Each structure stands twice: as C-alpha cells, then as structure tokens.
Amino acid sequence: MRNIAMLGVGYVGLVSGTGLADFGNRVICVDIDEEKIRKLKNDILPIYEPGLLELIQKNVHQGRMVFTTDLAKSIQDSEVIFLALPTPSGEKGEVDLSYVFSAIDTIAEVIKGFKVIVTKSTVAVGTGDRIRERLISKGVAEEMFDVVSNPEFLREGSAVGDFMRPDRVVIGTRSEKALEIMKEIYRSLYLIETPIVATDIRTAEMIKYASNAFLATKISFINEVANICERVGADVQQVAKAMGLDGRISNKFLHAGPGYGGSCFPKDTLALTKIAEGAGMRATIVESVIAVNHQQKLRVVEKLTQLLPDLRDKVIGILGLAFKPNTDDVRDAPALTVIDEILKRGGKIQGYDPEAMEEMRKHFPQIRYMTSAYEVAAGADALILLTEWNQFRGLNLDEIRNLMKQPILIDTRNIYDPETVMDKGFRFDCIGRKIVNRS
C-alpha cells in the first residue's frame, strides 16, 4: 500500500482519491481551492455525487484519507502523485495544460525523494513526455521520478461504482518499477480480476481520447438517425432498441436526445481533432460528430419555434439543467445552448433542476429559478424537458397542463409516450419520432 497525493479534488480527484484510500492506500487530497477543502474537512461534499460522502467519511474515520491545501508538503510526504487537475479547452480547442504544468513546476521545486507522477487528467497525447522533459529542464534528475498515464473512465452520477468496479485500468509507462507500484495501488481491483492494460504512455493517453470520441460518435450517430426517422416516419426508440440487441453494437450510448454535454465529450472530441491536426491530418469522423452535436442542441430550439413561432416575451420552462441526471455539472450542458438561444429570441426562462441550479446561476443569473417542475409549469407558454431526472418521469400531466398558459411540451429525452401526452391536450414534440399534433 502506498502514500499517495491526489492533486485536485474535483469530480475525478475526489472520487479517485476516495477509491484509492478504500483500496487501502493512504491518500492526501490536496486542492488550491480553500473553500472546497474547508467543506471537505467539515463533512460537506463540494460536488453532488451519490454515495461519495459516506465513502469519504469511512476512509477519513479509518485514517487513510486527509484533506489539505498544502501542496508542497503533500508532494514531499507522498511517493505517488496523481494529477486530477482541470484540462479545459484552450482558445483554439486544443488542451490547455497550464494547470498540469503549474503543478509539475511545484513538484520540481520541492521534490526530494523518488516520485511516480501519474496523470489522471485527460491530457494531450505526448504530455507524459513533456512532463518528463519539463522536470529535467528544471534540474530534476531523471532517476528521481517516473511518469505514468492512468486515464480515468468514470461517469459523473455513477462515479463511485465506476471507480470501484471499472471495466479496465489503463496504465501507461515505460518503467517496470512504476508499473509494479501502480499494480500495487490497484491491488484490490487486480484481486477481482479487473483487466489491467499496460501500455506505453502515448498509447494510454490515446486510449482515453479514442474511448470518449467513440462514445460521442454513438450519440451523434443515433441523433442523426433520429432526425432521419422524424422525416421518414420511423421510430428511433425502436430502431435503437433493435440495434442495441446486436451484441456487436450494444445498447449503451444509443439514446437520441438533445446532444451530449458535460465536462468530457465536448472538450475531448475537440481536443482529438486538434491532436490530429497537430499530427498533420484531419479527424473527419470526429469533426462530424462535433458538428452533429452542435446542430442537435439547436434542433431543440427549432422544435420549440415550430410549435411557438414567436418567442418574444413568451415564458419557456426548462425541466433539467444538468447535462445528465444525478450530477450538478452544467459544463457544456445542452441547457446552456438552449437557454441562450431562447433568450436571444426574446423569450423568458424559468427553470428547475434538483441539483444544478447553483451552477447554472453562474451562467444565467437573469433567469428565474423555481423549486419544482410544477412551479416551472405555472404560467409557462411551453415546457422543455432537457434532463431525465427520475422526478420528471412521472409528472402529473393534468396538473402541469392546468398550470400552463399554453400546453406545449417538448420531451428531448423521449420519456413520455406521445399519444398519452397529446390525449391530455398538449401540443407535443420529442426526438426521432414523427409527431402529428391534433391542432
């Protein structure tokens, strides 16, 4: 069992740090955000992630996990340093590695004993080599460190389960010593026969981009199929179900909807196109995936204006702001584009999300934040369901209709049966089915 410093306690760092502590390692979770660390020390979770607080409390209580803002000491006290730092899109869509390199510079300043430096952040292919060169250029001897790429595949909303029972663990390194240390850290998973894929660093870095781009491709693909279904009178729900029964295709990530969002797919697909560009080629499939996704978000507003052509001074209710259920994350959420477009057309927004309102308020302080779906419906000219939170699945549609100014519902997650909704007097639309409204 090893002494680990987890740099960054965001969605990935906090879950990974907790998981590694639960595997028996001693983990110092460190962040430059004093507020986050203060909350964690007081048993408050700075993000919404089901099941995480209980696991943190257990590991803190059993003495395997601490929180601090002292970066230098955390580095000195640990043998393995995980970087779970932000890698946002840069100005041209390339990966912004400034957080990673700033942490590497701190490591270079304080390093005394041997360290394994592990990138858990999603980083451009070649970053591991750049980290090595940077440390050497700052006077750190080569034998003082090894670099490992250990990309993370967890999904927000089910992150704890994903980390504790992953489909595979990818470890990219040139060093046998580092590989052994990493296997020891993940020993609990090894015991339950989780596949460990050992590769070189660049291959590990690429695996993460290829995986995310493939999943994003599935989503854009089914959204494109959905749009064709609408025009030719087929039902994308049934198409996707039948496709998914084919083991070669699988039913995962085949849900037509308002386009993918979140902190990973948008920035990672874009980054992959830039990585390809840097290597002198174009990633044409990935470029199309991005374009289809952008169009799909706008398509939601197009559907709205088909039912309600003039949005000026109309009140549009938005159900769900997070990019998916069970998270408070609104990064690149379809709601951002949809709300922006409606505001541009002169509409007014009232919205509700069980967890993401605080985050959305940072982007749109001017819209009205309500406390339930029914409050959102009250006085609305149209409702758009954007996130399939469980509590939106069984709404009392009679009550919703009676509260609304005009009964228009757009279900971008296909959770309502069109006939049932229209029987209740709504004008309706969804994704991937040809809807013939009755008036």
What whole-number distance in Å separates Cα of residue 89 and Cα of residue 271? 7
Among 29, 229, 264, 430, which one carries the catalytic annotation? 264
Q: In terms of DSSP bridges, do strands 26-30 and 3-7 run parallel, antiparallel, or are they unpaired?
A: parallel
Beta pairing partners, 349? 316
Alpha helices in 168-283 (DSSP H): 176-185, 187-191, 201-232, 236-244, 265-278
What whole-number distance in Å separates Cα of residue 16 and Cα of residue 163? 7
User: Longest Cα pair distance anywhere in the chain, in angstroms?
Assistant: 75
Of 208 and 299, the one with the shorter C-beta distance to ligand NAD is 208
Touching ligand NAD, residues 301-360 (CB under 6 A): none
Among 11, 23, 260, 323, binds ligand NAD (CB under 6 A): 11
Tokens for 393, please give them: 């699945």
Tokens for 412, please give them: 């971008």
Among 22, 152, 388, 429, binds ligand NAD (CB under 6 A): 152
What whole-number distance in Å separates Cα of residue 342 and Cα of residue 338? 6
Q: Is 103 in the site for ligand NAD (CB under 6 A)?
A: yes
Query: Angle at the Cα of 176 (from 171 to 182), degrees rounded to 5?
Result: 40
- Within 10 A of 107 (CB to CB), how many other CB atoms are there? 25
Instruction: Residue 224: name the closest of 301, 305, 291 by CA.
Output: 291
- Least distance between ligand NAD and beta carbon 361 (Å): 18
Among 20, 29, 84, 185, binds ligand NAD (CB under 6 A): 84
Touching ligand NAD, residues 36-55 (CB under 6 A): 36
**Given the rule CB under 6 A, which of 20-28, 150-158, 363-371, 393-401 is the region that contacts ligand NAD?**
150-158
Residue with tokens 């706008």: 298
What whole-number distance in Å separates Cα of residue 31 and Cα of residue 333? 25
Compute how many residues bind ligand NAD; rule: CB under 6 A. 27
DSSP letter (8 states) at residue 144: G
- Within 10 A of 146 (CB to CB), how many other CB atoms are there? 22
Among 25, 122, 269, 414, binds ligand NAD (CB under 6 A): 122
Using an 8 Å Cβ cutoff, are 300 and 334 in contact?
Answer: yes
- Least distance between ligand NAD and beta carbon 385 (Å): 23
Of 158 and 227, the one with the shorter C-beta distance to ligand NAD is 158
DSSP letter (8 states) at residue 390: G
**Given the rule CB under 6 A, which of 57-65, 80-88, 334-342, 345-353 is the region that contacts ligand NAD?**
80-88
Q: Is 215 in the site for ligand NAD (CB under 6 A)?
A: no
- Least distance between ligand NAD and beta carbon 189 (Å): 17
Among 56, 65, 85, 225, binds ligand NAD (CB under 6 A): 85
Q: Which residue is nearest to ligand NAD (CB)?
A: 10
- Least distance between ligand NAD and beta carbon 296 (Å): 20
Give residue 165's identity as a one-letter amino acid code. Answer: R
* 229 is an active site residue: no
Using an 8 Å Cβ cutoff, are 319 and 412 in contact?
Answer: no
Among 2, 4, 5, 13, binds ligand NAD (CB under 6 A): 13
What whole-number distance in Å separates Cα of residue 25 and Cα of residue 87? 26
Among 18, 59, 87, 414, binds ligand NAD (CB under 6 A): 87
x-or-dash string of contact with ligand NAD, 245-264, rule CB under 6 A: ------------------xx
Q: Is 205 in the site for ligand NAD (CB under 6 A)?
A: no
Of 169 and 342, the one with the shorter C-beta distance to ligand NAD is 169
Of 69 and 406, the one with the shorter C-beta distance to ligand NAD is 69
Using an 8 Å Cβ cutoff, are 73 and 91 in contact?
Answer: no
- Least distance between ligand NAD and beta carbon 216 (Å): 13
- Least distance between ligand NAD and beta carbon 266 (Å): 11
- Least distance between ligand NAD and beta carbon 380 (Å): 32
Residues 6+ apart with CB under 8 A from 161: 51
Of 86 and 126, the one with the shorter C-beta distance to ligand NAD is 86
Collapsing DSSP to helix, strand or coil, 393 comes out as: coil
Q: Is 86 in the site for ligand NAD (CB under 6 A)?
A: yes
Q: Is 128 in the site for ligand NAD (CB under 6 A)?
A: no
Question: Does an H or E element contain 61, and which?
Answer: helix 52-61
Of 264 and 431, the one with the shorter C-beta distance to ligand NAD is 264
Phi, psi of 342 (to 5 degrees): -65, -40
| Residues contributing to the site for ligand NAD (CB under 6 A) | 7-13, 30-33, 36, 71, 84-87, 99, 102-103, 121-122, 152, 154, 156, 263-264
Just list the catalytic residues: 264
